[in-house]
């Protein structure tokens, strides 16, 4: 009896601690008329680690001229620090349509200043993010709408509100 009570107590404590460490992730459509309207203070990571990489970035006004992309703004508070890993061709970042569950490939992600990374080829490409700060990620997809789901490497999963 005591052993089962103790195991139940430990299970309850672990569930409570998991609930307390859960990070609130906000994900919404970035409703803007100009992709260059990015706050200067916004940046993705504190440190970048890359091996054998080729990156192509486009300035926001070039992407703005396309007007076929939908911006998605993902934000969360990073308590302890984390690492966001990007795979070649952003293979680990997908938008899943709520109606068909079809996976949509990411077109671009904001990486610094007024630039969006559009092509990535790398053996390893990691952003290291310090703890105790807000993290904002702006992504562009060919189509996105409320109710769709964003999944990044199984690390982040959020529904667009």
| pLDDT tens sequence across 39-63 | 876 766 778 889 999 999 999 999 9
Does residue 15 belong to any structural domain of this protein? no
87 located within any domain: yes
In a domain, 138, yes or no: yes
Residue 78 belongs to some domain of the structure: yes
- Assigned domain for 152 exists: yes
Residue 6 lies in a domain: no
pLDDT digits (tens, 9 = 90+) for 56-97: 999 999 998 887 899 999 998 888 888 889 999 999 999 999
Mean pLDDT of the residues in the chain: 83
Domain holding 139, by residue range, is 24-159
Render the chain in DSSP notation, one character per residue.
-HHHHHHHHHHHHHHHHHHHHPPPEEEEEE--S-TT---TT--S-SEEEEEEEEEEEEEHHHHHHH---EEEEEEEEESS-EEEE--GGGTTEEEE-TTT--EEE--EEEEETTEEEEEEEEEEEEEEE-SSEEEEEEEEESS--TT-EEEETTTEEEE--
**Predicted local confidence at residue 43, as pLDDT:** 64
How many domains does the chain fold into?
1
Tell whether 69 is covered by a domain: yes
């Amino acid at each position: 009896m005591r052993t089962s009570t103790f195991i139940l107590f430990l299970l309850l404590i672990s569930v409570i601690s998991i609930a307390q460490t859960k990070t609130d992730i906000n994900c919404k459509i970035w409703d803007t008329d100009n992709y260059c309207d990015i706050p200067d203070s916004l940046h993705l990571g504190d440190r970048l680690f890359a091996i054998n990489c080729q990156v192509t970035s486009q300035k926001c006004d070039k992407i703005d001229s396309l007007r076929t992309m939908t911006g998605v703004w993902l934000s969360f508070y990073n308590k302890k620090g984390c690492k966001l890993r990007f795979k070649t061709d952003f293979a680990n970042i997908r938008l899943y349509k709520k109606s068909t569950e079809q996976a949509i490939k990411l077109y671009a992600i904001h990486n610094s200043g007024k630039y969006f990374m559009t092509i990535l080829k790398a053996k390893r490409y990691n952003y290291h993010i310090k703890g105790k700060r807000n993290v904002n990620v702006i992504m562009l997809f060919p189509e996105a709408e409320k109710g769709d789901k964003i999944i990044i490497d199984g690390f982040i999963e959020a529904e667009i509100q």
